[in-house]
Amino acid sequence: MAASLQLNARHFSPSFQPFHSSSTKSSKPNLVRCSAATHSSKRSYKITLLPGDGIGPEVISVAKDVLVLAASFEGIKFEFREMLLGGAALDATGVPLPDETLAVSKESDAVLLGAIGGYKWDKNEKRLKPETGLLQIREGLKVFANLRPATVFPQLVDASTLKREVAEGVDLMVVRELTGGIYFGKPRGFGTNENGEETGFNTEIYAKHEIDRITRVAFEIARKRRGKLCSVDKSNVLEASMFWRRRVQEISAEYPDIELSHMYVDNAAMQLVRYPKQFDTIVTNNIFGDILSDEASMITGSIGMLPSASLGDSGPGLFEPIHGSAPDIAGQDKANPCATVLSAAMLLRYGLGEDKAADRIENAVLDTLNKGFRTGDIHSAGTKLVGCKQLGEEIMKSVDSQAPAVV
Ligand SMILES: NC(=O)c1ccc[n+]([C@@H]2O[C@H](COP(=O)([O-])OP(=O)(O)OC[C@H]3O[C@@H](n4cnc5c(N)ncnc54)[C@H](O)[C@@H]3O)[C@@H](O)[C@H]2O)c1
């Protein structure tokens, strides 16, 4: 399933102690988000849960149960704190990211997020939108690298909108820069041009260190995958992209074993639906990564299957499904929990270095699909339509039975 990858060791220095810490040790080892590394000797972790809005609480509930069960087989214990984010936080506290949510998240070993947003808050001013809370927590945790695997599950290849021969075997990773670029660049705002006409404007800007660090993460990931990295930019038009390409090229000298290529974003968007198997690891900026990773997700058939991990240099990683809060199906037990369950597996693998428990979860998801269980978004003739809760129960049974996946 998810490719193995190696990221840097991190140091952890807590400054805030809101967790009940009866079972945690006072000194924490460096954790290595690395499937090749041996796992940390620490076997008790603080996890912050941010269920959010819409289907968020439904999928987080399933993922939490699966996480606890899979980890218990490896002797791992968790302390959970559930905190408010997004619309739920707005309703309860008046802001989309309460200070306490950020403080507890920062103090934990990893953060598992459901989804935020909904019709109710759509007309709020920007600082009071659920989405603002999401951007704020990513910024607050300083998670600059967003890893989005797009893997076509053999069992779901016919759910892809692409022809079987195009979709089959696709296994790529989009590494998206998450805390810079046009989503954060200044100046930004609304104004009036020289003709007196109203305008809206944003700034695409990258500093050298921002490009260098995401590029190194991407090279490390490519090294643990199939050794190919494609950097996507728009350097035929944008100065920020010209600089991006120059930095990526320069950093590539540190990775002579990795095959580096460059592609303009318009071509990359086209190649993803023409011949997606050509890609192994893609590295790109915030806005291009946002769009391309959603496009890549559709190759796999359902947005409900895809996890993501957001990592920084230090501190906890943020793990979340790539889908939104799906208000159209919220509260109806129709949500596919797999993306969040697989995000929990990424949390174990890349956040805690607990590969065995991660393998157990990923195998259980494959096993459950092999048995034919499907939520509505991935249902097809001949498979068993179940709700979010039942799919979760089936995944739990597979975790419990240790059934090896037949892929
Ligand atoms: N990371 C996040 O929390 C995040 C990401 C994207 C959108 N949003 C927010 O979510 C809200 C809805 O946005 P949207 O409709 O554009 O995107 P969405 O991802 O919520 O839904 C798009 C479509 O996919 C379906 N879908 C999504 N996840 C599913 C799942 N797990 N199982 C089955 N079907 C699933 C939905 O029912 C819907 O038809 C908005 O408020 C938006 O701002 C949040």
Nearest atom, ligand 1, residue 328 CA? 37
b (16+ CB within 10 A) / e for 34-64: bbeeebbebbebbbbbbbbbbbbbbbbbbbb
Specify the amino acid at residue 246: R
Residues 307-344: pLDDT tens digits?
Answer: 999 999 889 999 999 899 999 999 999 999 999 999 99
Residue 266 falls in the annotated catalytic set: yes
Query: Band of the pLDDT at 228, cuts 50, 70, 90?
Result: very high
Pocket of ligand 1 (CB under 6 A): 55, 115-118, 131, 134, 303-304, 320, 323-329, 335-336, 339, 375, 377
Query: Band of the pLDDT at 208, cuts 50, 70, 90?
Result: very high
What pLDDT sits at residue 42? 67
What pLDDT sits at residue 302? 77
d(CA 102, CA 106): 6
Nearest CA to ligand 1 atom 21: 326
What predicted TM-score, i.e. pTM, was given to this entire model? 0.82
- Integer Rg of the chain from CA: 21
From the list 294, 313, 333, 400, the catalytic residue is 294
> Residue 201 above 50 pLDDT?
yes
2 Cα–ligand 1 center, Å: 23
Mean per-residue pLDDT over the chain, rounded:
89
- Report whether 107 contacts 141 (CB < 8 A): no
Which of 113, 110, 193, 148 lies closest to 291, judged by CA? 148
Which of 143, 303, 306 to mutate for ligand 1's pocket (most ligand atoms within 8 Å of CB)?
Answer: 303
Q: What phi and psi values does residue 66 have, to the nearest 5 degrees?
A: -65, -40
Percent of the chain with pLDDT over 70: 88
Q: Is 227 exposed, middle or buried (0-12, 13-18, 19+ CB in 10 A)?
A: middle
Nearest atom, ligand 1, residue 329 CA? 37
Residues 291-316: pLDDT tens digits?
Answer: 999 899 889 877 899 999 999 988 99
Angle between the N-to-C axes of helices 388-401 and 355-370, in degrees from 0 to 180, rounded to the nearest 10 = 120
Query: Band of the pLDDT at 207, cuts 50, 70, 90?
Result: very high
At 344, list the tokens.
């929990």
Which of 5-9, 110-114, 184-188, 283-287 is the least confident region?
5-9
280 Cα–ligand 1 center, Å: 26
Nearest atom, ligand 1, residue 114 CA? 3
Residues 84-134: pLDDT tens digits?
Answer: 999 999 999 999 999 999 999 999 999 999 999 999 999 999 999 999 999
- Residue with the two structure tokens 């500093």: 207
> Residue 214 above 70 pLDDT?
yes
Residues 42-85: pLDDT tens digits?
Answer: 689 999 999 999 999 999 999 999 999 999 999 999 999 999 99
185 Cα–ligand 1 center, Å: 26
d(CA 169, CA 153): 8
Handedness of CA 234, 238, 239, 240 (dihedral sign): negative
From the list 42, 53, 171, 183, the catalytic residue is 183
Residue 290 falls in the annotated catalytic set: yes
Residue 234 falls in the annotated catalytic set: yes
343 Cα–ligand 1 center, Å: 16
Cα angle value 213/316/304 (rounded, 5°): 90
Average pLDDT value for residue range 162-175: 95
Beta-bridge mates of residue 201: 189
Which of 42, 29, 111 lies closest to 74, judged by CA? 42
From the list 266, 275, 328, 384, the catalytic residue is 266
d(CA 181, CA 203): 7
> Residue 39 above 80 pLDDT?
no
Which of 50, 325, 329, 375 to mutate for ligand 1's pocket (most ligand atoms within 8 Å of CB)?
Answer: 325
Domains of the chain by start residue, with CATH: 1-144+312-407 (3.40.718.10), 152-301 (3.40.718.10)
What pLDDT sits at residue 32? 27
What pLDDT sits at residue 397? 97
From the list 46, 234, 355, 359, the catalytic residue is 234
What pLDDT sits at residue 402? 72
From the list 65, 109, 290, 367, the catalytic residue is 290
141 Cα–ligand 1 center, Å: 23
- Report whether 294 contacts 176 (CB < 8 A): no
> Residue 1 above 50 pLDDT?
no
Which of 38-42, 238-242, 351-355 is the least confident region?
38-42
Q: Is 311 exposed, middle or buried (0-12, 13-18, 19+ CB in 10 A)?
A: buried
Residues 388-400: pLDDT tens digits?
Answer: 999 999 999 999 9
Helix (H, G, I), strand (E, B) or coil at 359: helix
Query: Band of the pLDDT at 160, cuts 50, 70, 90?
Result: confident
Nearest CA to ligand 1 atom 26: 326
Average pLDDT value for residue range 217-221: 93
